[in-house]
Amino acid sequence: MSEHLSLDEVRALDKKYYMNTFGDRIPLCFISGDGIELTATDGRVYKDYFAGIAVTSLGYNHKRMTEELCEQVKDLIHTSSVYYVENQAKLAQMLVENSCADRAFFCSTGAEANEGAIKLAKKYQVEKGCKNKIEFVTLKNSFHGRTLATVAATGQPKYQAPYAPLIEKFVHVERNNIEELKSAVSENTAGIILELIQGESGVHPLSREFVNTAAELCRKYDIALIIDEVQTGIGRTGRLFAHELYEIKPDIFTMAKGLGGGVPIGAICANEKFASAFKPGDHGTTFGGNPLSTRAGLVVLDELLNNGVLENAEAVGTYLMDRLNELKTKKDIIKEVRGACLICGVEFSEPIGREVTARLRDNGILVGSVGDSTLRIVPPLIVTKDDIDILVNKLEEVL
């Protein structure tokens, strides 16, 4: 451990040399992890129910993942997609065979996946000769990424204001407001982009009626229904994708966070009708779908689908929601428990979110906080019922 810098030394370097986009961070720096536990520079061990923002789906130092990634690093990290890539082709097959999609494309982040989805939806209209269809409908309080187009898609002024005027035209409607949605879609719309459960703004699920209306509007206008599964995908809701819970088949859906278990990888999936709008040269990437990141994706998907991790996410996620709802009946300060399985928001009736998060941290427990009064709980998918008991009991104590 002696080869690591202390937290204070890391912080000093960060303050001097790193662009100050993250402000004062949580005063922790981790040097290793195992299962759902992280070890900090001072040797303290934390149980992690945040998973690096819903990313480390198999936890830390997962035996098979570590072995396969080490093997892959020795064999080959990168070749570019100028050549055929075995893992890339295999991962595309695995995603298609286990979803409603016909084709996949790999990139490196969620924002990049959403950018690609927006381009694909536009290209579909261009192919049809509908050059006027250039607008997108998204939701207020959505989050779709930090690139210029995805920040415009994100329905939160705080992310947009510094960059106005924004490129691309996005119309933002209120979550679950069906009338507003209907009047936002016009002859100029190229697609509707939805998170089925808005993660970043505090875990807010959409109503089935609202989602079904969006799907109907897309059929009626022959425009893309794009589901942003960057956070909800890859088992977090107890299903491989949240759109399975809603029993819809999106034209295009995107994913990233959990897909590589921590290795950066994103994906755009689409049905043939939309996917075929991309012709050679229309889209590309240097890093996307490289042998290393797609190997990580193969391990994650195989563990989920063939080694019980998806079943675990559903069983333990259901237990988490039950235990939190039970705690809510005992603690009036809990206003609402929202979400599905392992994407869970706990809203308090008072602005105590940050303090609760800090007290949990003092007790060796990591969760996320949103705004002043909401906790975001998105643990690794390998979390156990015993881990959930520890979390809920500590939360009760702290409250």
Shortest distance, position 258 Cβ to ligand PLP, whole Å: 10
Please spell the DSSP secondary structure of 273-293, one letter per residue.
HHHTTPPTTSS--SSTT-HHH
Coil, helix or strand at residue 133: coil
Residue 347 in the binding site for ligand PLP (CB under 6 A): no
Q: Which of 200, 314, 347, 387 binds ligand PLP (CB under 6 A)?
A: 200
Q: Which of 48, 115, 135, 195 binds ligand PLP (CB under 6 A)?
A: 195
Helix (H) or strand (E) holding 374: strand 374-377
Tokens representing 279? Answer: 């012709």
Query: What torsion do the CA atoms of 378, 58, 32, 143 make, to the nearest 10 degrees?
Result: -40
Report the residue closest to ligand PLP, judged by CB.
Answer: 110
Coil, helix or strand at residue 169: strand
Query: What torsion do the CA atoms of 280, 281, 282, 284 make, to the nearest 10 degrees?
Result: 110
175 in Cβ contact with 210 (< 8 Å): yes
CA nearest to 50, candidates 62, 32, 38, 68: 38
Which lies closer to ligand PLP via its Cβ, residue 234 or residue 298? 234
Shortest distance, position 327 Cβ to ligand PLP, whole Å: 26
How many alpha carbons lie under 13 Å from residue 322 in its C-beta half-sphere? 8
Residue 379: cis peptide before it, omega within 30 degrees of 0: no
Residue 199 in the binding site for ligand PLP (CB under 6 A): yes
Which lies closer to ligand PLP via its Cβ, residue 116 or residue 392? 116
For 12, 261, 271, 314, 370, the CA distances from 236, given in Å and listed in that order, are 36, 12, 22, 8, 18
Residue 338 in the binding site for ligand PLP (CB under 6 A): no
Q: What is the rounded end-to-end Cα distance, in angstroms, of the chain?
A: 35
Name the segment binding ligand PLP (CB under 6 A); options: 20-28, 75-83, 175-183, 193-201: 193-201
- Measured from the Cβ of residue 169, the count of other Cβ atoms closer than 10 Å reads 13
Which lies closer to ligand PLP via its Cβ, residue 114 or residue 290? 114
Shortest distance, position 228 Cβ to ligand PLP, whole Å: 5
Which lies closer to ligand PLP via its Cβ, residue 99 or residue 395? 99
Q: Which of 37, 228, 251, 303 binds ligand PLP (CB under 6 A)?
A: 228
Name the segment binding ligand PLP (CB under 6 A); options: 72-80, 84-92, 161-169, 195-203: 195-203
- Measured from the Cβ of residue 39, the count of other Cβ atoms closer than 10 Å reads 16
Shortest distance, position 67 Cβ to ligand PLP, whole Å: 26
Shortest distance, position 62 Cβ to ligand PLP, whole Å: 20
Which lies closer to ligand PLP via its Cβ, residue 231 or residue 312? 231
Which lies closer to ligand PLP via its Cβ, residue 210 or residue 221? 210
Which lies closer to ligand PLP via its Cβ, residue 204 or residue 323? 204
Of residues 89 through 148, those in contact with ligand PLP by CB under 6 A are 109-111, 114, 143-145
- Strand pairing partners for 35? 60
Q: Which of 230, 248, 310, 382 binds ligand PLP (CB under 6 A)?
A: 230
Q: Which of 51, 151, 223, 256 binds ligand PLP (CB under 6 A)?
A: 256
Which lies closer to ligand PLP via its Cβ, residue 56 or residue 231? 231
Helix axes 309-330 and 291-306, enclosed angle (nearest 10):
70
Residue 155 in the binding site for ligand PLP (CB under 6 A): no
Coil, helix or strand at residue 340: strand
Residue 231 in the binding site for ligand PLP (CB under 6 A): yes
Q: Which residues bind ligand PLP (CB under 6 A)?
A: 109-111, 114, 143-145, 195, 199-200, 228, 230-231, 256-257
